[in-house]
A and B are shown apart, each in its own frame.
Chain A
Amino acid sequence: MHGATRRNPARRRWWHDAPRRFCRQRRVTGHRSYGDPSTGIVGGQQVARAHADVGRGNEAGGAGDQPQASEPPPRYSDDPDVDAAMAEYHAYGETPPRFDMAENDRMYGGTGADAAHTLDRHGPDIPLERDPNQQTIEGRIHGDDGWGGESNWSYRWSDEASLNRTVNQYVAQNWDAIRTDLVLDGAHDGVLIADRPIGQGYYNSGMYGTGPRQAAYSETNLGVIRIRTVPGSDPPRPYVLTTFPSPAPTP
């Protein structure tokens, strides 16, 4: 699925498209990709349906434990700004959502700044070794077509099981911080530290003009995760904008 997507040049450069229309697009086109509710994963419903799933618990990814959207908002303080922030904080639910990243990207991918893109850029199906005929992890070091210029490191997730396990462990352990950031900052960006390798890729061993660009293979147990809220979702619904393995903090 994603391999075919990556080989489409227009698709490969989707991040240069400006319009933030994916939420509306999903509703208008009626794109459906229902997951299995019994698996307890995010993204089992499309955005429009998600809005109707108020109070169904966290099976659908963070929509649980909150009051019906149509109910009058509860009062938490005498300060209306604090009141609004706390109401939104509680609306995310006490129970951390669980994500299935393939479903997350199918539900919230597309074009524009809000589009989920973990598997497009860092999925385990992306070939590692440089190949002039397709987008590869090593090719990003050299700025091959579709990557938007040269990079000093480039990694992919080892497999989808590691990806889902790492994301869900992080979300479970940091849920209060995540929903605080989503409420107050409109975004949560975090650093993943796993107890085993989660990604594989390359770094440029010729940095700082010390030599020609040279892609050196390595594995990593570190990564980045970026979480956002589906635009217009009520109650607020978190999704993973992207998550990717990253190298050690210093070369």
Chain B
Amino acid sequence: MDMSALPDPMRARIAAVNAQSAMETLQKFLLTDISDIGGLDELEADLRSVARTSTRSHERKLAAIEAVLADPPPAGQLAQLVAWSGNRSLDDPSDAGAAAFLREVAELLRTVIAEATPRR
């Protein structure tokens, strides 16, 4: 789709979303999508439901996880991000445990994206 042909309010929204850093995108993803779930099965169901329309947001979230894992923040911040923004109580509450959790979420996103047949 040629996004430049969209009206101003839509293009403004796209620009605002795209301007977010990987860390901002990941923090918001953890807060909005993960902080209230009972388990990853619930996240998967939600991601699959949205993917019936589009996987654009999934791709942004996956790219954000990959970028943050490739260039991790200072010690302790990844653990805090998952524990607080994501509201996760992991068996391993360290940075390593948080990274493992994010890798699991990233794999889930890849699977949903690969299996989706979005209409948009």
User: Which B-chain residue is minimally distant from A185 (CB atoms)?
Assistant: B57
B interface residues, how many (CB within 8 angstroms): 45
**Interface flag for B74 (CB, 8 Å):** no
A184 neighbours in B (Cβ, 8 Å):
10, 14, 54, 56, 120
Known: A15-B42, A185-B50, A189-B33. A79 touches B57 (CB 8 A): no
Check A191/B45 contact, CB under 8 A, given A148-B39, A149-B89, A153-B87: no
B112 to chain A, nearest CB (A): 12
The answer to whether A224 touches B120, judged by C-beta atoms less than 8 angstroms apart, is: no
Considering the chains assembled together, what is the distance between the CA atoms of A249 and B35 in angstroms?
12
- In contact, B49 and A114 (Cβ under 8 angstroms): yes
What are 17 A-B residue pairs whose CB atoms fall within 8 Å in the complex?
Answer: A82-B1, A84-B120, A85-B6, A149-B39, A176-B13, A177-B9, A180-B10, A184-B56, A186-B51, A186-B118, A187-B57, A224-B36, A231-B52, A244-B36, A247-B84, A250-B84, A251-B84
Q: Which of B9, B38, B46 sits near A149, CB closer than 8 Å? A: B38
Is A132 an interface position by the 8 A CB rule?
Answer: no
Q: Which residues of chain B have C-beta atoms less than 8 A from A233's C-beta? A: none
Taking the complex as formed, is A18 at the interface, i.e. its CB lies under 8 A from any CB of chain B? yes
Residue-wise, chain A 1-19 has the 8 Å CB interface mask toward B (1 for contact) of 0000000000001011010
Could you give, for residues 202-213 of chain A, a 1 whenever the CB lies within 8 Å of some chain B CB and a 0 otherwise? 001001110000
From 156 to 195 in chain A, residues with beta carbon under 8 angstroms from any chain B beta carbon are: 176-177, 180-181, 183-187, 189-191
Between B10, B33, B51, B85, the greatest number of chain A beta carbons within 10 A of the residue's beta carbon is seen for: B10
Partner of B45, one of A79, A84, A112, A147: A112
Interchain CB contact (< 8 A) of B53 among A82, A186, A191, A246: A186
Distance from B23 Cβ to chain A, minimum over Cβ atoms (Å)? 12
- Within the assembled complex, what's the spacing in Å between the Cα atoms of A183 and B9? 13
**Known interface pairs A89-B10, A191-B31, A224-B31; A79-B89 also in contact (CB < 8 Å):** no
Cβ B85 vs Cβ A190 within 8 A: no
Chain A residues near B27 (CB-CB < 8 A)? 249
Mark B residues whose CB is within 8 Å of A. Answer: 1-2, 5-7, 9-10, 12-14, 16, 27-28, 31-33, 35-39, 41-42, 45-46, 48-54, 56-57, 79-80, 83-85, 87-89, 93, 118, 120
**Bound form: Cα–Cα A190–B13 in Å:** 13
A152 touches B38 (CB 8 A): no
Contacts A180-B9, A224-B31 known; A207 to B93 CB distance under 8 Å?
A: yes
What is the CB-to-nearest-CB distance from A15 to chain B, in angstroms, rounded to a whole number? 5
B2→A79 contact, CB < 8 A: yes
Contact yes or no, A82 B9, CB < 8 A = no
Instruction: Tell me if A102 is interfacial: C-beta within 8 Å of chain B.
Output: no
By beta carbon, the residue of chain A nearest B43 is A113
Q: Is A121 an interface residue (CB 8 A)?
A: yes
User: A51: CB under 8 A from chain B?
Assistant: no
Nearest residue, chain B, Cβ from A141: B89
CB-CB under 8 A from A190, the residues of chain B are 32
For residue A86, CB closer than 8 A to chain B, the reply is yes
The residue in chain A whose Cβ has the minimal distance to the Cβ of B8 is A176
Q: Give the distance to chain A from B78, nearest Cβ to Cβ, in Å.
A: 12
Give the Cβ gap from B17 to chain A, nearest Cβ, in Å: 8
